[in-house]
Amino acid sequence: MGRAHPTRLEDLIGHYVNYRKSFAPREPADQFGLYAVATRHPAALWREVGRQPVKTGVYSVRALRQPITVIVLKEVAPVTRNALWALFSFEAQRVAQGAQDYVWRQPDHLPIRQELYHCYQQVGVAMSYTFENFRQDLARELVLELPVEERLRGLPAEERLHGLSDAELEYLRQFFTRPTQVLALTVFAP
């Protein structure tokens, strides 16, 4: 929302009206909800419009006779159900917690998350998630999509054994050093 000012709410209503006229002209007005999201307490807005608290960090206001729900991200309770809001809170600790708690429903979420973190770094919010973290996470996700044969292609035999326990290595040693049994078949001709 940028700076929360009453004219921003009027802009929101204008976009809502344009959307309804263009894409949903037959839908009743009560099927739509107007939401404004602010990262910080919108003091200028609160001086201009009355507000009703709905729950922690969520308020109801009216502008041009339209009800609008205002969500203040720094006031929203830091619980798992609010993980998405935490991602946009501009507080490093909340963003990190939101990234951990939020369940992404799209398989291509890592580029979205990296772009969000990149934006935070540009404005000076220190983020512990770096581009290197992103590359590693992306590689881990992509490699799991490959068949086992492709994952191992190009790896020398020694490297394929890294990560095996001593017991697993001993089992392999015994498996490959046991004598081969040869079966003799005798064919009887009638």
Domain presence at residue 115: yes
Residues 102, 137: one domain?
Answer: yes
Structurally, how many domains does the chain consist of?
2
Q: Return the amino acid letter for 45.
A: L
Residues 84, 140: one domain?
Answer: yes
Band of pLDDT at residue 175, cut at 50, 70 and 90: confident
Q: For 59-63, 126-130, 173-177, which range has the lowest pLDDT when averaged over its residues?
A: 126-130
- Could you list the residue range(s) of the whole structural domain that residue 28 is in? 6-72
Residues 66, 94: one domain?
Answer: no
pTM above 0.85, yes or no: no
What would the pLDDT profile of 5-40 be if each residue is shown by its tens digit?
Answer: 557 888 888 888 898 888 888 988 888 889 988 888
What would the pLDDT profile of 65-106 be if each residue is shown by its tens digit?
Answer: 888 999 998 888 888 888 888 888 877 778 778 877 887 777
87 and 96 Cβ atoms separated by less than 8 Å: no
Domain presence at residue 151: no
Domain presence at residue 98: yes
d(CA 159, CA 152): 9
